[in-house]
Structure 1
Amino acid sequence: MDHKQSPFAKRREAMGFSQEALAERLNIDVRTVRRWDAGDFVKGPQAWIRPKLARCLQVSLEQLDELLSAGASEQARVVEGELVSPEVTAVPPGAVIFPVLVDGKPVLLPVDPSAIARDGFPGLATLSREDAMSPLSRRSLLRFSVLASALPALDAEAHQHVAAAMEDARRYLDTDLVQRLKAQLASCKSSDGGSDATKTPPLPIVLGILGAIEEAAREVRPRVRHQLLSLGAECGEFAGWLYRDAGDLTRALYWHDRAIEWAQVVGDIALQGYVLLKKAQLAYDERNPHRMLDLSQAVRGGAWNLPLRVQAEAAQQEARAEAMLGVSLGAVERKLGEARQLLGASRVDECTLGAHYNDTLLTMQTAVCYTEAGKPRHGVELYGQSLTENSFSPRDYGFFLSWMAGSLALAGEPDEAAKTGLESAKRANNASSQRTHRELERVVKVLAPWQNRPAVKELQAVV
């Protein structure tokens, strides 16, 4: 890919701003400025930033729009140039280039138009190759592909509904199609972490739903738009979790932010607080206890009207941050006691948010709190009492095994730690959980003094 500077990046440097300095001036994340530098203006900048950004770059709003559109056009040309698989050196006679989603990313492939027409997109039957490669047709085809990828195993009637919705979202993208998308999201959530997760990975489907929402939200009727953005908020939160498990914390944070924005638009107060909790958990992955504490306290102190189960998890998260910051063990235990009381007072049916949170999960988190507080032996005892394979999904069981391995290593039991780590690594590989692999890398570092022991060597080789 050509890494020439975008017009935006050239202007930023000409005005004497580093990426960090411009982000600080605008009070935004530096990663946002990096995306702009790369020519990615699909998601922004938001309306409230634009006047201030124009003043920083000393351009008018019209000139700013020209800078942004020039960057976006350059990025589009680069992306389109790379979409075609390098193996596709010639397009067969009569075929057109059709965008499809592979692992959540659009790829242009030569296809027989009549074959796709039979599946509910009859307009393709008369498309010439030149027509299919026009910007308008590419956009239409890609939109169809994005939404179809979000609804696998469509029947013929549903395919026709999708095709119509993508050609005329205002007329055909209705409540029924939104419910189909919602049901698909629920199916992804229910299968997440299961033994068949590698056969039907949920992330491409979830990204397909999000892509469909972002494509169609501007054109649908107001009532459907509200439903679509509400689904987007829920879907964005789940995408953030999937990226977190995949080890891509930057994209996880991006989708958390998008989820909060959509939740604000539709007035879903509880979901905003819930996503803040997810951000606190992300801060633990980064081992940033101050951010964990700030976010956990914001969850507990805000007017989010959260279910008691979510409040219980937030109290536990606050206790963990305090343990990492060196607060006394007594204070950490009192906070954990609050979490236990909140969970005991909750009802399973009170809300869908936090419905997964139960006594066993709280015990796992309590164990890690004790380990962070310098009491790994107590953590090991708790894992031994409650960590069983039938209590969690295969992926989550492997993840908690990595926590247990870390506690065993800190407790001075290298052979047991390595043995537990190997069991964890096996499940992490099966589930493609980078989050678990990161924890195991930390275990290997703790086991460095015993690196010549056979079991530890085996774990090092695997990790």
Structure 2
Amino acid sequence: MHEQAVANWRVVAARVERGWHTQEDFVTAYDERARELREQARISVRQVRRWESGESTWPNRDARRVLEAMFGCSLEDLGFVRTARPTGRRVGAPGRQLEECDVRRRTFLGLAGAAPVLDLDALDHLTAAAHGARHYGERELLGHLRTALDDAAHADGLAGPHEALPTVLGILAAINSAARTAAPGPRRELLVLGARGAELAAWLHRDAGAAVPVVAYWHHQAKEWATLTGDGAMHAYVLLRQAQATDRTDAARMLDLARAATTGPWTLPPRPRAEAFQQQARALALTGARVEEVARTLDQAHTALGQAIPASGPATCTGPLGDGYTDERLMVQSAICYREAGQSHRAVALFRQHLTARVFAPRDQAFFTAQYSGALVAAGEPDEAATAASEALALAADTRFGQVLAELHRTADHLAPYAGRTAVREFRRRLDELAVA
């Protein structure tokens, strides 16, 4: 793998986080800011590519001023390396080369055991690892990136999207850059992994409260890489995830996407196929379909899940598609479907039976508990609803699980007629305090 294929992951992550999803978008924004600053220098996509590949390490004076104004931070914080002044040291001294090689190797081989959540500073270690990867081969780098992506997905379930997102963006930048010079076999494997990572990036952006076009961008990237690698199941899985990301006020689109996942020219494995049927059931409930139709579609989900081979280990982001979709998850999501269908008492009964097992990651436990609180309001149990909502808020407050908080605000609105009750008043006060903070 050529060393110039290594990305400056910091500037890539910073660019994408600010909404400049393509290099063309960035060039347009750069030119606009340059005009505002009355700088004459303009850049091209080729120059952005040089910066992001690490081929050009330190921008010229005019570009430095524009970049610092755009990002609001120093160039060093963006991963650029200031040109070193001559020191009199002989270039390529053997001792220096051996020292750098040793550091790179220890960094590369040791990262798999590092903390699962990496911030932007930690991406420097990933950069060093990738620079050293040419000494160890593409296969070793691919294995490391796969482990890092699994760790990031696990961290999201524990600590939320804001902690995991920089790592995932860095991994995606590395995959995109390395794939340009990789041989056909490793290139395909990189893009297969990239599709998984891009879908995860879409999820993280959505949970972090990003705008709809940002989420759509990453879904599109995941489908593009799935198409290039002939991974029809992954393409269908992204359609399912798009359905899940669709706002409940657009139930018709949600239904179209979920149906496409099960009826297109592809075959989903049993577990994600079950999840797609469950999503169809929710969309049907939101469109006002009869509860019998919702129940029949959920029966299809149970049938599909019954065909799944038992999982051989813990579910991971890069393992079999949808391997984390279990009977417990289907049952609590069925409760959500019945809640949307106006069957609040049936929903409450399912939540009470299947949510208490505590088998879900903190983020999922918080989300399902928030849904449970809404079902309790509809079932005429405001005090229990406020108690459940407070439990979900305790799980989501520090990590800022976006979808959980959105659902809790929905519950708070439904609890407005009971604002005088002690439990309700306390929950709404804590939610308001968090919003202010």
1:98 partner amino acid: E
Q: Which amino acid aligns with 2:354?
A: S
Question: CA 1:109 to 1:395, structure 2 compared with 1: closer, same or farther past 3 Å?
Answer: farther
Distance apart, 1:249 and its partner CA:
4.9
Q: CA offsets, 1:380-436, max 9 Å, x none?
A: 111011102521111211111100001011122211111111110110113320110
Number of equivalenced pairs: 356
Maintained 8 Å contact 1:318/1:335? yes
Sort the Cα spacing of 1:255 and 1:345 in 2 relative to 1 into closer, same or farther, 3 A.
Answer: same
1:424 corresponds to: 392
Matches of 1:341 and 1:453 in 2, distance apart? 43
- In 2, distance between residues paired with 1:309 and 1:262? 22
C-alpha distance in 2, partners of 1:346/1:332? 22
Q: Is the 8 A contact 1:40 1:71 kept in 2?
A: no
From 253, 272, 275, the counterpart of 2:238: 275
Q: Is the 8 A contact 1:367 1:383 kept in 2?
A: yes
Cα displacement (A) at 1:76: 8.9
- Aligned with 2:203 (options 233, 241, 244): 241
Equivalent residue letter for 1:368: I
- Equivalent of residue 280 in structure 2, options 318, 329, 347: 318
In structure 1, what is the Cα distance between the partners aligned to 2:161 and 2:98?
27
- In 2, the alpha carbon distance for the partners of 1:204 and 1:325 equals 37
CA-to-aligned-CA distance 1:318-340 (integer Å, 9 cap, x gap)? 11111111111111111111111
2:409 alignment partner, one of 428, 438, 441: 441
Once the two structures are superposed, the pairs formed by residues 292-371 of structure 1 within 5 Å of their partners are 292-349=254-311, 352-371=320-339
* Aligned residue among 376, 379, 383 for 1:408: 376
Q: Would the alpha carbon gap of residues 212 and 199 (structure 1) be closer, same or farther in structure 2, given more than 3 Å must change?
A: closer
**Map of 1:204 onto structure 2:** 166
Instruction: Check conservation: 1:273, 1:299, Cα contact below 8 A.
Output: yes
Partner of 2:69: 81
- Deviation, structure 1 residue 200: 9.8
- Structure 1 residue 237: Cα displacement: 1.2
Question: What is the alpha-carbon distance in structure 1 between the residues aligned to residue 267 and residue 64 of structure 2?
Answer: 43
Q: Structure 1 CA distance, aligned partners of 2:47 and 2:380? A: 55
Distance 1:75 1:396, change over 3 A: farther
Deviation at 1:228, TM superposition (A): 1.8
Aligned to 2:345: 377
Matches of residues 4-23 of structure 1 in structure 2 within 5 Å? none
Contact 2:119/2:163 (<8 A) preserved? no
Query: What per-residue deviation string (whole Å, max 9, x for no partner) do you get for residues 223-256 of structure 1?
Result: 3322221211111111122222222253332211
Q: CA shift at 1:186, angstroms?
A: 1.9
Contact 1:178 1:228 in 2 (8 A): yes
Bigger relative CO (Cα 8 Å, ≥ 6 apart): 2
Partner of 2:76: 98
Q: Is the 8 A contact 2:169 2:201 kept in 1?
A: yes
Distance 1:435 1:118 in 2: 49
Once the two structures are superposed, residues 47-99 of structure 1 have per-residue CA deviations (whole angstroms, 9 ceiling, x without a partner) of: xxxxxxxxxxxxxxxxxxx99859979999744434463xx7xxxxxxxx634
How many angstroms apart in 2 are the aligned matches of 1:288 and 1:119? Answer: 58
Q: CA RMSD in A?
A: 3.8
Q: Deviations over 1:134-154 (max 9, x none)?
A: xxxxxxxxxxx99994585x7
Q: Find 1:42's aligned residue among 4, 17, 23.
A: 23
In structure 2, give the amino acid aligned to 1:219: T
Q: Which amino acid in structure 1 is aligned with residue 327 of structure 2?
A: D
Unpaired segments of 5 or more residues in structure 1? 1-34, 46-65, 89-96, 100-105, 123-144
The answer to whether the Cα contact below 8 Å between 1:270 and 1:305 also exists between their aligned partners in 2 is yes
Q: Alpha carbons of 1:347 and 1:199: their partners in 2 closer, same or farther (altered >3 Å)? A: closer
Q: Which position in structure 1 is the counterpart of 2:31?
A: none
Q: Cα–Cα, structure 1 residues 221 and 84, in superposed 2: closer, same or farther, change >3 Å?
A: farther
State the SS of the aligned residue for 1:392. coil
**Is contact 2:119–2:167 with CA below 8 Å preserved after alignment?**
no
1:385 to 1:119, Cα distance in 2 relative to 1, 3 A? farther
Q: Alpha carbons of 1:281 and 1:40: their partners in 2 closer, same or farther (altered >3 Å)?
A: closer
- Partner Cα distance (1:274, 1:418) in 2: 35
Cα distance, 1:301 vs. partner?
Answer: 0.5
* Structure 2 partner of 1:260: 223
CA contact (8 A) 2:120 2:166 kept: no
Cα separation, 1, equivalents of 2:421 and 2:63? 52
Q: Is the contact between residue 404 and residue 417 of structure 1 (CA under 8 Å) also seen in structure 2?
A: yes
Q: Deviations over 1:153-188 (max 9, x none)?
A: x7xxx94x52245xxx7x976222122111211222
Q: 1:382 to 1:181 in 2, by over 3 A?
A: same
SS at match of 2:324: coil
Q: 1:39 to 1:189 in 2, by over 3 A?
A: closer
What secondary structure does 2:190 align onto? Answer: helix
Mean alpha-carbon deviation: is it higher for 346-355 or for 257-266? 346-355
Per the alignment, residue 55 of structure 2 pairs with none
**Correspondence for 1:180 among 115, 125, 144:** 144
Question: 2:186 matched to 1:224?
Answer: yes
1:247 counterpart SS class: coil
State the alpha-carbon separation in 1 of the partners of residues 81 and 425 from structure 2: 46
Is contact 2:377-2:385 (8 Å) kept? yes
CA–CA separation in structure 1 for the residues paired with 2:63 and 2:379: 52
Cα distance in structure 2, aligned partners of 1:456 and 1:290: 34
1:59 alignment counterpart? none
The answer to whether structure 1 residue 391 and structure 2 residue 359 are counterparts is yes
Contact 2:146–2:193, Cα closer than 8 Å, also in 1: yes
- In structure 2, stretches of 5+ residues that fail to align are 1-15, 27-41, 50-61, 88-95, 103-117, 313-318, 432-437
Q: Does 1:189 align with 2:189?
A: no
- CA–CA distance in 2 between the matches of 1:198 and 1:326? 33
